[in-house]
Amino acid sequence: MNNWLASLGMYDHPAQREANDALWDWIAARLGAARVPDVPSGLERDRAPHELWPDPQLLFGQACGYPFARFHKDHLRVLAVPRYGAPHCEGTRHSSVIVARAGDARGVLEDFRGAVAAINESASNTGTNLLRHTIAEQCAPGPFFTGMVRTGSHIGSMRAVAAGEADLAAIDALTFAAADASYPGLPESLKVIAVSRKVPALPFVTALATPDAIAVLLREALLAAMAEPALAEARKALFLRGAEPVDAAVYDEVLELERFADLAGILRPEP
């Protein structure tokens, strides 16, 4: 018996959970019809996504691009990259919005030199890597932040900025678009002062240990789910417009952004 796991925890805010359950239930039923044994009957929500990425029992999940490229190429196989329909997304690429408090008098990124940043995790692409790269790309080189506050989530970073515990945060465009449905008023307490460059969206993945034949069935089921009429409302809640197979090497792009920020002298958070 396989103790396989399935997770869609990267975008699983309260108003999206029913949609994620519907998406997985449909994929799981298709896998069951193809006689894949021991398909998980529900999504894993007791463990954070980053805890599952190195787990050889991960049958289906979604990974952040930076930790995938830096740490998990030996653990994960990319199934497909999603196409999202939220603002600041285009095709299979997405970005981060750099936010400050709505009432902050500062209006452009350079005005925030000497600020404190809120980051969700040090290894986050959208919360840290794209923040550092955007500063390096849009502002004069040299030290910028005086400190970083680690919050554990994009929503935590939004709340930290709104409460005045930090001045800036980079928020994944999908999370920012989804926030109002689950956390009413939170996006309105912030203003967008910059937008990062677009990078490949978060890949759907399976453990590298997943048998090749099952990985093929997973990809087929995922791509079919993107066109299934019965899942139209679920896809809408998740901003999903489709998915495409992709070479895992495309995620190396985010490592180049990290090097660019390092050369510009932008503060790197402690691991």
On average, the pLDDT of the chain sits at 96
Provide the domain count of the chain.
2
Please give the residue range of the domain that contains residue 21: 5-85+201-254
Spell out a b/e string for 5-44, using b for 16 or more CB atoms within 10 Å of the CB, else e. bbbbbbbbbeebeebbbbbbebbbebbeeeebeebbeebb
Q: Do 99 and 188 lie in a common domain?
A: yes
Q: Do 183 and 116 lie in a common domain?
A: yes
Distance between CA atoms of residues 204 and 24, nearest Å: 12
Report the percent of the chain where pLDDT is more than 90: 96
- Ramachandran angles phi, psi of 63, nearest 5°: -120, 155
Q: Do 11 and 24 lie in a common domain?
A: yes
**For the segment 203-235, what is each residue's pLDDT rounded down to a tens digit?**
999 999 999 999 999 999 999 999 999 999 999
Number of Cβ atoms within 10 Å of the Cβ of 149: 17
Q: Do 71 and 26 lie in a common domain?
A: yes
Report the percent of the chain where pLDDT is more than 70: 100
pLDDT of residue 1: 62
Q: Tell me the CATH number at 58.
A: 3.40.190.150
Q: Do 170 and 99 lie in a common domain?
A: yes
Label residue 260 exposed, middle or buried (CB < 10 Å: 0-12, 13-18, 19+): middle
If you search the block for the tokens 């759907």, which residue do you land on? 204
Query: What average pLDDT does this structure show over 150-160?
Result: 98
- Ramachandran angles phi, psi of 208, nearest 5°: -60, -25
Distance between CA atoms of residues 134 and 160, nearest Å: 20
Q: Tell me the CATH number at 110.
A: 3.40.190.10
Rounded (to 5) percent helix, strand, coil in the chain: 40, 20, 40
In this prediction, residue 268 has a pLDDT band, given cuts at 50, 70 and 90, of confident
Residue 97 near residue 176 (C-beta atoms within 8 A)? yes
